[in-house]
């Protein structure tokens, strides 16, 4: 979707949309439209739409109204996003190829106006690559938005949000692609292409390099796959100060069969998105690099495929992690923590971060706890937890803090190794976080985000269609904006 800022939009565009505040008096519109909106009970609440038709200079035009909610609402920006997204949802496959978007009547700030555009763009993302028989009336047609009446400063604000949209879309693409297209090596290749010429520094470790470093946990997960496991790091030095970097770590299991502890067949196809944490880190890094964030940030992604062949890891195997701690693998389907523990240790050894945040589609227990409304957050530092909570509220990628505590550690103590990779059924998400905490060194501020319920949606949301949501990209970008860049 292309956006053009103009004072005089093309006269031949048949569709004009106006953003309207809740309760606003409609002016400058055909009286029939005003009366029609009232009859349809259009009040301008966030995300509400109304469509009518009017004769403009002798030509019939479609006129749409999109509600942005109350002018002084605390969630004004989210409401503006909903206004833009609602227009896309209504007109994406309408047959209209262009829209004039009138922003002159809602008292928008530049940031609010950019939020309308962000909602328009994000709701329009689709992945139709493999749909060869899509009916004509189901194909996206809306491609160009002519923006008029935008307040001064909107174009600069939109440049920042466009970088964010690019990162979200990149993540959605990675998460949506099937496992025969996105696997560790092709994930790396996609990132190499996306970051080419940006100034970001990419480091890629193969199995030989990881074996030399002693990453027995990560390598154990991937040893049943014909696909080579990888570790990818994307480094962005955007600050002129010699600040220690902030590090984001993502779980990247590009397909998870469960290994020898095989998952049941129904729903296994969804496990292509078990790399949603790594996907979010990749998209967030692309956003930061694209907008030239004034921060030193590194994204680390552990990339494996968990398959059950004759070489696969068995329940009862004991592996030695890069940290030297040994793990008894009781369930090969509790593999994400094995990937993360080596990636976390390597990231701390390699970069000595000021703080570290990991993201992972780690446990089904988190979905039982929080459903599909919040990602779960575990943290060893109250300040970091509060900062991430605030970033979640501001971005819309919401988090809910869950407990950590020494009393949970005994649930994952092993009688034959330092630790076992699963505890009992109860507190499953907490014991997974406790496992990871054992690999955080020297009191480094750390947060673990269990986003199992958030990266994929079974029904459309405000700014996404059914499928990949891009969750995590907006959260990390907002965190960097508010905390790292300050």
Active-site residue list: 263, 337
Complete edge-to-edge strand list for the sheet that includes strand 419-420: 318-320, 326-328, 419-420
The dihedral formed by the CA atoms of 196, 481, 164 and 91, expressed in degrees to the nearest 10: -170
SS (H, E, C) the chain: CEEEECCCCCCCCCEEEEEECCCCCCCCCCHHHHHHHHHCCCCCCCCCEEEEEEEECCEEEEEEEEECCCCCCCCHHHHHHHHHHHHHHHHCCCCCCEEEEECCCCCCCHHHHHHHHHHHHHHCCCCCCCCCCCCHHHCCCCCEEEEECCCCCHHHHHHHHHHHHHHHHHHHHHHHCCCCCCCHHHHHHHHHHHHCCCCCEEEEECHHHHHHHCCHHHHHHHCCCCCCCEEEEEEEECCCCCCCCEEEEEEEEEEECCCCCCCCCCCHHHHHHCCHHHHHHHHHHHHHHHCCCCCEEEEEEEEEEECCCCCCCCCCCEEECCCCCEEECCCCCCCHHHHHHHHHHHHHHHHCCCEEEEEECCCHHHHHHHCCCCEEEEECCHHHHHHHHHHHHHHCCCEEECCCCHHHHHHHCCCCCCEECCCCCCCHHHHHHHHHHCCCCCCCCEEEEECCCCCEECCCCCCCCCEECCCCHHHHHHHHHHHHCC
Rounded Cα–Cα distance for residues 447 and 424 (Å): 23
Rounded Cα–Cα distance for residues 395 and 77 (Å): 9
Rounded Cα–Cα distance for residues 49 and 46 (Å): 9
Burial class (CB in 10 A: 0-12, 13-18, 19+), 222: buried
Burial class (CB in 10 A: 0-12, 13-18, 19+), 461: middle
Torsions phi, psi of 18, nearest 5? -125, 135
Rounded Cα–Cα distance for residues 382 and 373 (Å): 22
């Amino acid at each position: 979707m292309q956006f053009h800022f103009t004072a005089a939009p093309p006269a031949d565009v048949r569709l004009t949309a106006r953003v309207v505040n809740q309760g606003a008096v409609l002016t400058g519109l055909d009286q029939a439209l005003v009366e029609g909106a009232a009859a349809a009970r259009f009040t301008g609440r966030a995300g509400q739409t109304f469509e009518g038709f009017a004769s403009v200079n002798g030509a019939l035009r479609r006129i749409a109204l999109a509600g942005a909610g109350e002018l002084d609402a605390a969630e004004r920006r989210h409401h503006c996003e909903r206004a833009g997204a609602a227009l896309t949802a209504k007109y994406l496959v309408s047959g209209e190829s262009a829209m004039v978007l009138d922003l002159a009547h809602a008292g928008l700030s530049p940031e609010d106006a950019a939020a309308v555009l962000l909602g328009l763009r994000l709701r329009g993302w689709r992945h139709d690559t493999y749909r060869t028989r899509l009916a004509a009336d189901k194909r996206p047609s809306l491609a160009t938005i002519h923006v008029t009446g935008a307040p001064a400063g909107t174009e600069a604000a939109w440049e920042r949000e466009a970088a964010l949209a690019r990162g979200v879309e990149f993540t959605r693409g990675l998460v949506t692609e099937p496992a025969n297209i996105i696997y560790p090596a092709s994930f790396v290749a996609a990132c190499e292409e996306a970051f080419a010429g940006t100034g970001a520094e990419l480091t890629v470790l193969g199995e030989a390099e990881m074996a030399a470093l002693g990453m027995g946990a990560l390598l154990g997960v991937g040893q049943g796959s014909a696909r080579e496991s990888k570790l990818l790091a994307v480094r962005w030095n955007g600050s002129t100060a010699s600040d220690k970097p902030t590090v984001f770590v993502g779980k990247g299991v590009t397909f998870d069969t469960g290994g020898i502890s095989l998952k049941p067949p129904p729903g296994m196809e969804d496990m292509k998105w078990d790399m949603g944490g790594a996907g979010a880190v990749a998209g967030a890094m692309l956003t930061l690099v694209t907008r030239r964030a004034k921060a030193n940030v590194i994204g680390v992604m552990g990339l494996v495929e968990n398959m059950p062949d004759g070489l696969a890891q068995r329940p009862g195997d004991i592996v030695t992690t890069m940290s030297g701690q040994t793990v008894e693998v009781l369930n090969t389907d509790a593999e994400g923590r094995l990937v993360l523990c080596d990636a976390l240790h390597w990231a701390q050894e390699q970069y000595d971060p000021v703080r570290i945040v990991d993201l992972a589609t780690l446990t089904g227990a988190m979905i039982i706890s929080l459903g599909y409304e919040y990602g779960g957050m575990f943290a060893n530092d109250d300040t970091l937890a509060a900062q991430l909570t605030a970033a979640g509220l501001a971005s819309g990628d919401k988090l809910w803090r869950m407990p950590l505590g020494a009393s949970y550690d005994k649930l994952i103590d092993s009688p034959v190794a330092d630790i076992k990779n699963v505890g009992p059924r109860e507190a499953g998400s907490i014991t997974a976080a406790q496992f990871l905490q054992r690999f955080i060194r020297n009191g480094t501020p750390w947060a673990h985000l269990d986003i199992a319920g958030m990266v994929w949606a079974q029904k459309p949301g405000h700014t996404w269609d059914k499928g990949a949501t891009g969750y995590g990209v907006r959260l990390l970008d907002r965190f960097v904006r508010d905390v790292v860049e300050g």
